[in-house]
Amino acid sequence: MNTKTLSPLIKSLLVTVTYVIPTLLISLLPLSDTLLRLLFLPAYLLYTWFWVRVVDKQSWKVLQLNVNKKALKGFLFALVLTAIIVSFSLMIAIFFFHHRFRGPSAFTPSNLWFAFLSSFVVQGFPEEMVYRGYMLQTLQTKYSQITSLVLTTGLFALMHVTHLFTSGIINGLVIVFVAFSFALLAGFLKYFFKTTWAAVAVHGGLHMTRKLFELAGLETTTLTFFISGLIFLIVSLGLFLSFKNQLKESYQS
């Protein structure tokens, strides 16, 4: 197969299918999911390098992973917004659905470090590097920003369909829905701040905030996760309605 002649959509489908293979392999191995994903991190970097440099013959800069003041601003804004959304969803669960802090606090340096690694290094960075970094700019070579965002978000949600088999139907459907919702917000913020680090902050911030509440003793359930997804979706649609004209003008220019 000559990858140079593939359309951006076909390449994105191939990226989605091939990216999920290590995830399936990890789920079958009897070791810590986080530990295994850390071991796979160099492979994810090499995988992205292959598509960017070998297949597309582009500079690594197209991923918009430069570290500068603008990237830091985007990262911090996205992280704070995400933390607020997740915290608000958990508060709703506490006040309206009687969720309670049931366990003792487990805030220890090792637990916090492990939560950070799991949230940002294992999940947030590699997945956003591929989807909001590589795939979004690849699709945009043919489609508008809005279309590219919707396609990327849909493929990202599709990647999580495996949870229907590993987490059960209900939990799996909620995971797919939440993945779609926060990925939509991650894509919008990546566009606004012109940095993929904003998307990393949304992705990692979602998992990190949930883990912090779990360490504090709150039992985070499928319901709280679903509420988070609803709020992510509402915020994303609000951003779309507010800035759709700017997105169109940016693409046309």
Domains in the chain: boundaries: 3-252
Angstrom distance (rounded) from CA 194 to CA 70? 8
What are the mean pLDDT values of the chain's consecutive 10-residue runs (253 residues total)? 72 90 65 64 88 91 94 97 95 79 76 89 92 94 91 95 87 96 96 95 96 85 92 93 72 48
Burial class (CB in 10 A: 0-12, 13-18, 19+), 85: buried
pLDDT score at 253: 47
pTM for the model: 0.91
Is residue 148 within 8 A of residue 136, CB to CB? The reply is yes
Angstrom distance (rounded) from CA 226 to CA 236? 15
